[in-house]
Structure 1
Amino acid sequence: MSLAAEQQALTQLRHLIAGEYWEPALKAAGVMARRISSQERARELWNLFRQIPPQVRDGPAGRLAAAWVAFRAGEEAELQRVLSQTPDAPELRGFRVALVVRQGRYAEAEQLLAQPTVPDQQAIAARYRAQMLAAQGGDWQGAYAEAMRGLSGRDLGVLHTEVAYYCAGYNLTEQARDHLAQAVQALRSAPQEQTLALANLGMACLSAGDFRGAYQALQKASALAQQNSPYRSIVWRMQGDLALLHRWPARARYAYHEALRTALTGHDRSMAAENLILTLLLSGEWDEARSELIAAAELPVNAPQDTEHHTVLDLLQAALQLRLGQSEAAERRLLSLQDKDLSQPRRWVLDLLLSEVARQQGQPGPDAPALEQLQWQWPWHQLFPEMCFPEPEKGTAWKPLTPPKAQINLAGPVQLKVGDFEVPLGRKTRGLLAYLVLEGGSTSAESAAGALGLDEGAARTVQKRLSKVVTQLRQQLGSPGTVQSVGGVIKLGADMDWQPPILPPPERAERFCQGDFFPFVNSWIEQQSLSFPED
């Protein structure tokens, strides 16, 4: 169903409900739920469906529509209530399979799957059969391939996302990335779910070492994640992970702060706080790390996936104590965690820290665990041992993360590299950055406006144009501190270690900022021509 047709169907349903035409309203709601394009639409349908009187929804004609609407909207309690009214109804068997698999009642699910399911619920039963096999270690890949047959749109995108989740759990990074790329395409009509798929695609690309792919996926996700998106925090967190892997601490710190600010769930807040603290530790900002540890310890822990939050904080606190030379305090904290039921990545960090305790105390202890032992990794796992814990026998001293080297190439089309990563820039933003670098990192706002050809019109209009470009450049560079504008002066901040620009030789002056025709470009080329006249 197209978005226009879906909107028209919702309008028609409103009219039917307003006129109290209950039977046609139930039928229309059930049809729409079967073809829903996104979670947002499903929630809208659910809120509208609830306006139908309960005695009508619970009647024989209403139960099937109620089950479809509740299932699509993710209203598990309502779905369970509807199913409890007719425990053995064959026309609801697919929904019953979904419910019992979600609740881990696999023996009951197998009994239900042995019985026939009505055609329009067969895809639902197949999907949850695949989930059950994934939980039991069966042939979940084959089951998902079978469940995908004949699906399209959101239903197909959701299944690709689920398969990617299980692939990541089994460290099948390339397969996870392929499924997420297909999910992104299938979820075109579901912006919020597409945002999540893009964020996860960014993570999969990070795990595969494909930094460009990660950047592109996260930029698209950021553009989709509007102010009220429930996945905005996740996108910011993934951008922080990308920056951290590029050893770009200011950008990572800003991204994690934004992830914390935009978090709508306790889990998202916990994850953002943990990664922010790690970034501060890697940067050697001990006081800030201590303050964030105190704040993070006060975050409420509600969701099941948050059960390790305080354990992670203990690990980070121990890492801080080790950096401050407090090995005995760190050892006591770590030993208190040994008997806990930790996930494999957390256990790996615990073993790594205990190895460092032994090293600092000059005692024989366990060897540091190899990164390859992890079945799956968070992006920062490879940084934890490299940046936090020195190897004196190899002559390696601990060094905090420092601003990355940044260099702009003006000998052709403008290119900016931060470390080994090329940062895409817009036309006006790369013009402003090129001019700033040429001017030694600082210039007046008046000069910048003239250099970019933005100086026509009233002073207020010129100021607005230039402010917009400055804001866009900050966004593309990843943190507010990269470009500062104070008292009529625009300058590059200390978030990056700016290197001298690469310039073309005078005899190739025409290659300067090739393809960009700003006034300062033309002036630079003319000056070089005067110093290197043609024969």
Structure 2
Amino acid sequence: MPVRAFEILCTHLQHLLEAEAWEPALLHLRQARQTLTGREEATRLYHICKAVPEAALERVEWAEELAWVAYRADAAELAERAAARHPDELAAFAAWLLVQREAYAEALVQAERALQGRGAAVAWRMRAMARCRLGLPDWREAYLEAAQHMQRHATERDHGLCLLEYGAQLTYAGDNFAARSVYAEAISLLRADPYMLAYAYYNLGIACLRLYELHSAASAFEHALVEAQRPKGQSMLSLAWRGLGSARRARGEFPRALHAYEESLRSATSAHGRIVALRGIGHTQRMAGQLDAALLTFYEALREARHPEQHSVYADIAAAKTQIGDRAGALEAAGRTDTRDHEDAQRLRIVQAELQRQAGNVAEAAELLQGVDLTRLWAFEEARAFPALFALRDYAVPPAEPMRVRVSADGAIRAWVNDVPVSLRPAALEASLLALLLWHGGSVSVERALDALDVPGSNERLRKQALSRAVVALRRALGWKTAVHADGQLLTLDPGVIWSALEVPTPQRAQDFCAGRFDRWVTEWAEVYL
């Protein structure tokens, strides 16, 4: 049902509750609950339900509907009250509450009781979660059974959430091939929920990263970003940008990765989000050889930490100090590293191995490196930072190459970074500006650009402002802030990037040059051959 239907149901429900018309109110509540498509709507419904008197919970029908609302809005207190009134009929929601408390054995007992009763979809999902968290060997079958039940008896969103969770467990278990296909199915079921759809695309990107499918990973993260930019998905913005940053860094696109992580930092809404984004920036700076900048970024991340005296960021600091040759500083940072996260523990092991190698203890270094999982993407990246160390295991990674940008003006203007198309609007001013810069060897004066391009504005000041906006749009399309340098007099393409010569049509097809643009320079170019 469209969002409008949910709004109408909520309005009617509020009026019915005010009028104490309990039977029609119950029907409207059930229909609104079945209609909602995301957490935001569930939260709104939960606040409306605060007007329901406590006495209504005596009826199991009311208690079930309120428990459903609590489940969808993640409001444990309301679910507890409802389940406590009807422990036999609402065991499914008791199972959910127990899973929240990580009481998985008790949750499994409650879920098994409710597989054919009220809230059965919740019970099947909690059964699978509990079996997985308890390490039972049939947890995969449990998730498949839950998904089959939901396909027949639950909403598409519930089915999609179950599959999304199953995919996450597969990823955690290292079965990224299976996770990838499960995420694809989940995505098809979550189209009406931008928040969860962004999260599903993000998870798909992570699975692709772990499979070294870097192009597919970047594509998934870009889809996540599209969904996160919708009004109901914006709390996923930081995560989506962070994922895109990791894919770009893995491809050696360090300037584009930095831009993505900076956007992640800008849109982060929690200290944890800011710390992770800053670690991404610092790690990218490390991989790009900007070690002093990386250390500054890592210390900035520590300032966000509640307990900075012992933190996972010290693994990054230890790695950077090892690279610059500060052995004492690296050892001190290593001793302050929180190693509960597997990747941080492994990075610390790499640091310890490199310090041994630098001290001439090659055998000890090789032994430490034996404990590092070389199949992981972060190991691939660390091998670039410590090539001599990883050579002890005959593991060689070619150094990251400069980014390559290719632009075609043969027809509509298109651009590729490392052979991956970018979202350049071919008929927009910024597209013609890019082609103009390339045609002139990477640099033109502002005066020449204003003369050559069809820049809107009734006077020079307005035209310069429009040109400035086109520069910003071009940077955004290419994916990094320094893609175009502007000093007020001169526009210059980033010299640290390899820019291929502008691709143009043959003289016989000169009319196809920069198709869709009618700038002065485009017309003059075509007239040479016509």
Query: Which residue pairs with 2:293 in the alignment?
Result: 288
AA aligned to 2:360 is G
Count matched residues: 517
Matches within 5 A, 1:354-503: 354-364=352-362, 365-367=364-366, 369=369, 373=373, 377=376, 379-390=377-388, 403-410=402-409, 414-427=413-426, 428=428, 429-445=430-446, 447-448=448-449, 451-455=452-456, 459=460, 462-463=463-464, 465-487=466-488, 489-494=490-495, 496-503=496-503
The answer as to whether partners of 1:442 and 1:492 remain within 8 angstroms in 2 is yes
From the superposition, tell whether residues 420 and 363 of structure 1 become closer, same or farther in structure 2 (CA, over 3 Å): farther
The answer as to whether partners of 1:91 and 1:117 remain within 8 angstroms in 2 is no
Out of 356-365 and 176-185, give the one that drifted further.
176-185
Query: Which residue pairs with 1:342 in the alignment?
Result: 340
1:135-166: CA deviation from partner (whole Å, max 9, x where unpaired):
12432222222212224421122112111101
The answer as to whether partners of 1:127 and 1:159 remain within 8 angstroms in 2 is yes
From the superposition, tell whether residues 467 and 224 of structure 1 become closer, same or farther in structure 2 (CA, over 3 Å): farther
Out of 191-200 and 309-318, give the one that drifted further.
309-318
AA aligned to 1:112 is Q
TM-score by length of 2: 0.86
> Residue 440 of structure 1: SS of its match in structure 2?
coil
Query: Which residue pairs with 1:202 in the alignment?
Result: 205
RCO comparison, higher one (Cα < 8 Å, 6+): 1
The answer as to whether partners of 1:410 and 1:501 remain within 8 angstroms in 2 is no
Query: Do structure 1's residue 251 and structure 2's residue 256 form an aligned pair?
Result: yes
Query: Which residue pairs with 2:278 in the alignment?
Result: 273
AA aligned to 1:480 is K
The answer as to whether partners of 1:94 and 1:118 remain within 8 angstroms in 2 is no
1:403: how far off?
A: 5.0
From the superposition, tell whether residues 183 and 92 of structure 1 become closer, same or farther in structure 2 (CA, over 3 Å): same
CA separation in 2, counterparts of 1:278 and 1:309?
Answer: 20
1:354: how far off?
A: 1.3
1:257-286: CA deviation from partner (whole Å, max 9, x where unpaired):
221221123332222122122112222323
> Residue 406 of structure 1: SS of its match in structure 2?
strand
Query: Which residue pairs with 1:305 in the alignment?
Result: none
CA separation in 2, counterparts of 1:455 and 1:97?
Answer: 62
CA separation in 1, counterparts of 2:166 and 2:252?
Answer: 31
Query: Which residue pairs with 2:186 in the alignment?
Result: 183
Provide the identity percentage: 26
From the superposition, tell whether residues 242 and 356 of structure 1 become closer, same or farther in structure 2 (CA, over 3 Å): same
Out of 497-506 and 314-323, give the one that drifted further.
497-506
The answer as to whether partners of 2:357 and 2:365 remain within 8 angstroms in 1 is no
1:187: how far off?
A: 1.2
1:244: how far off?
A: 0.7
CA separation in 1, counterparts of 2:293 and 2:378?
Answer: 19
From the superposition, tell whether residues 122 and 396 of structure 1 become closer, same or farther in structure 2 (CA, over 3 Å): closer
Matches within 5 A, 1:150-161: 150=152, 151-161=154-164
TM-score by length of 1: 0.85
Q: Which runs of 5+ in 1 are unaligned?
A: 303-307, 531-535
Out of 164-173 and 197-206, give the one that drifted further.
197-206
Query: Which residue pairs with 1:133 in the alignment?
Result: 131
1:189: how far off?
A: 1.2
CA separation in 1, counterparts of 2:186 and 2:194?
Answer: 12
From the superposition, tell whether residues 392 and 125 of structure 1 become closer, same or farther in structure 2 (CA, over 3 Å): closer
> Residue 405 of structure 2: SS of its match in structure 1?
strand
Matches within 5 A, 1:324-339: 324-334=324-334
From the superposition, tell whether residues 31 and 418 of structure 1 become closer, same or farther in structure 2 (CA, over 3 Å): closer
From the superposition, tell whether residues 245 and 353 of structure 1 become closer, same or farther in structure 2 (CA, over 3 Å): same
1:198: how far off?
A: 2.0
The answer as to whether partners of 1:30 and 1:69 remain within 8 angstroms in 2 is no
CA separation in 1, counterparts of 2:107 and 2:456?
Answer: 70
The answer as to whether partners of 2:404 and 2:500 remain within 8 angstroms in 1 is no
Counterpart of 2:222 (choices 215, 219, 222) is 219
From the superposition, tell whether residues 221 and 107 of structure 1 become closer, same or farther in structure 2 (CA, over 3 Å): closer
CA separation in 2, counterparts of 1:398 and 1:130?
Answer: 40
AA aligned to 1:295 is E
Out of 355-364 and 150-159, give the one that drifted further.
150-159
1:43: how far off?
A: 0.9
Query: Do structure 1's residue 112 and structure 2's residue 110 form an aligned pair?
Result: yes
CA separation in 1, counterparts of 2:486 and 2:21?
Answer: 62
> Residue 490 of structure 1: SS of its match in structure 2?
strand
> Residue 65 of structure 1: SS of its match in structure 2?
helix
1:109-160: CA deviation from partner (whole Å, max 9, x where unpaired):
3433443545451111111111112212432222222212224421122112
1:436: how far off?
A: 1.3
The answer as to whether partners of 2:275 and 2:302 remain within 8 angstroms in 1 is no
AA aligned to 2:137 is G
